[in-house]
A = this chain, B = another copy of it.
Amino acid sequence: MAEVKTVNLTPTWREFPRTLLRGVGQVMFQDSLWTGLFFLIGIFVGAYLEGPQFGIVAWGALVGVIVSTVTGYLLKLPDENGAQGLWGFNGVLVGCAFPTFMGNTIWMWLALILCSAMTTWVRTGLNNIMSPWKVSSFTFPFVLSTWFFLLASRLFHGMPPEWMSTPELPLGHVGHLDMNFISLVEYWLKGIAQVFLINSWITGIFFLLGLLVCSWRAALWAAIGSAVSLFIAIVWQGPGADIANGLYGFSAVLTAIALGATFCNSNNWKTWIWAILGIVATVFIQAAMNAFFSPMGLPTLTGPFCIGTWIFLMPQYKMFAPSQN
Contact = CB atoms under 8 A, between A and B. Distances in A.
Contacts of A239: 155
A266 interface: no
A258 B314 CA distance: 26
A179 B106 CA distance: 22
A77 B150 CA distance: 41
Interface in A88-131: 107, 111, 114, 117-118, 121-122, 124-126, 128-129
A155 B172 contact: yes
A120 to B, nearest CB: 9
A17 interface: no
A42 B237 CA distance: 35
Interface in A61-78: 75-78
DSSP class of A's interface residues: helix, strand, loop or mixed? Answer: helix
Contacts of A182: none
Nearest to A312: B121
A269 interface: no
A4 B322 contact: yes
A318 B6 CA distance: 10
Number of copies: 3
Interface stretch (A45-53, A187-195, A206-214, A292-300): A292-300
Given A114-B281, A157-B174, A325-B6, A152 B237 contact: no
**Among A156, A290, A296, which residue has the most Cβ atoms of chain B within 10 A?**
A156
A57 interface: no
Interface in A249-288: 277, 280-281, 284-285, 287-288
Given A155-B172, A294-B296, 15 more contacts: A6-B322, A107-B235, A122-B315, A125-B314, A128-B315, A128-B318, A132-B132, A148-B281, A149-B288, A151-B287, A154-B170, A155-B287, A157-B237, A167-B171, A291-B296
A168 interface: yes
